[in-house]
Amino acid sequence: MIFHSKPTLNKEDSSAVSRVINSGYISQGEAVARFESELAEYIGVKGGGAVSSGTSALHLSLIALGVKEGDDVAMPTYVCPALLNPINYIGANPLLIDINPDSYNISPADLKKKLTKKTRAVIVPHIFGLPADIKDILSIGIPVIEDCAQSVGAVYNGKKAGSFGHCAIFSFYATKVMTTGEGGMVVSNSDKILEKIKDLREYDHKPNYMVRYNYKMTDLQAAIGISQLKRLDSFISRRRNIALAYSKRFSELEIAIPKVYTEREHIYFRYVIKNRVKGQGSRVKGLEEDLKFFEVNGVKCMRPIFKPIHRYLKLKGFPEADRAWNELISIPIYPSLTDGDVKKIVRVTEKWQEAKVE
């Protein structure tokens, strides 16, 4: 079975962790500070604050931007609940926005239509590794939190994703572009935001009392992060090469493939194809049946988003997100796939395409 996702780990990562263990200092320390500095430099911003997860990064970012109970926070509906949870932690209201049908990112047009006087921030994921229409969203004037959990290393108009908003969040979960096992980070050009993040992520040895959190990253995690960051560009290069192989063959088969944008450099955290075929008289099988077909043939594929937020909340009025949820299949794409694995995935996809037309 070829797994849908898999971390890319090697002896360098293991050695980095061993060095921290041998130092005798394994909690938040020098390695965390170094990881913060190196990632911020890579993204092209002033600094970073490492935390325990992408979720905690978003939670603290909302607080740092002054979002309070009863405020509205705009976010796309075509995401996982990791974005919704921190909004609920604060007691704010999620303002759900539909997506762009070509990029699957948040729709600036729908965002402009739905903004309220209480909207205090907008969360902008660069979904699947493709930068969103960040320039259009920034022009609205609402504070922007970029969600780079799937897009570390992606580029928009010559600048790294994560360098545009008031702040940006990252996740380093096991199956992300680069990993620390668990862990996250907030990066920003704002000293005020960075100071707030670093104050709130730990609760002890403070001159005053206020609600703070146990959101620290350990030096063990940071050591892996530093090691992974050194190889990040090679990870992205491998992802792009695999995507190129997929796109070349799938275009010949008339399988709908990810759109290419001249001003955006995709890193292909996810490679998605559509559960439909072109031409009249074609029959489309159900997506669950398609996923089963791939699995039976030794390739684990998934919905790229398990369920849009509006479906959890039993809301209607998000046609593009619904269409994506019903159509998109995420096939394996990660650096440790061998050329043989890639050929097998292509063969199974060819077989799947043939079976779809009856």
CA distance linking residue 325 with residue 309, whole number of Å:
11
Identify the pLDDT of residue 211.
Answer: 97
207 assigned to some structural domain: yes
Per-residue pLDDT at 278 exceeds 60: no
Q: What pLDDT is attached to residue 195?
A: 98
Concatenate the DSSP letters of all residues of 307-340 into one string: S-HHHHTT----HHHHHHHHHEEEEP--TT--HH
pTM here is: 0.96
Interval 202-243: pLDDT, tens: 999 999 999 999 999 999 999 999 999 999 999 999 999 999
Query: According to the model, what pLDDT value does residue 275 have?
Result: 86
Asked if 202 and 267 sit in the same domain, the reply is: no
pLDDT at 358: 53
What was the pLDDT predicted at 279?
A: 41
Residue percentage of the chain with pLDDT more than 90: 95
The percent of residues in the chain predicted with pLDDT above 70, rounded, is 97
Q: From 76, 81, 83, 51, select the one nearest 186 (Cα to Cα).
A: 51
- Give yes or no for residue 44 having a pLDDT over 50: yes
Q: Across all residues in the chain, what is the average pLDDT?
A: 96
Contact 256, 274 (CB under 8 A): yes
In total, how many domains does the chain have?
Answer: 2
| Distance between CA atoms of residues 347 and 351, nearest Å | 6
Query: What is the C-alpha separation between 42 and 203, in angstroms, rounded?
Result: 29
Residues 177 and 313 in one domain: no
Tell me: do 55 and 159 sit in the same domain. Answer: yes
pLDDT at 357: 59
Residue that is last in its domain, among 215, 231, 247: 231
| 278 bridge partner residues | none
Confidence check: pLDDT of 121 > 60: yes
Domain termination site, one of 180, 213, 231: 231
Q: Domain residues for 251?
A: 233-356
Q: Are 255 and 349 in contact (CB under 8 A)?
A: yes
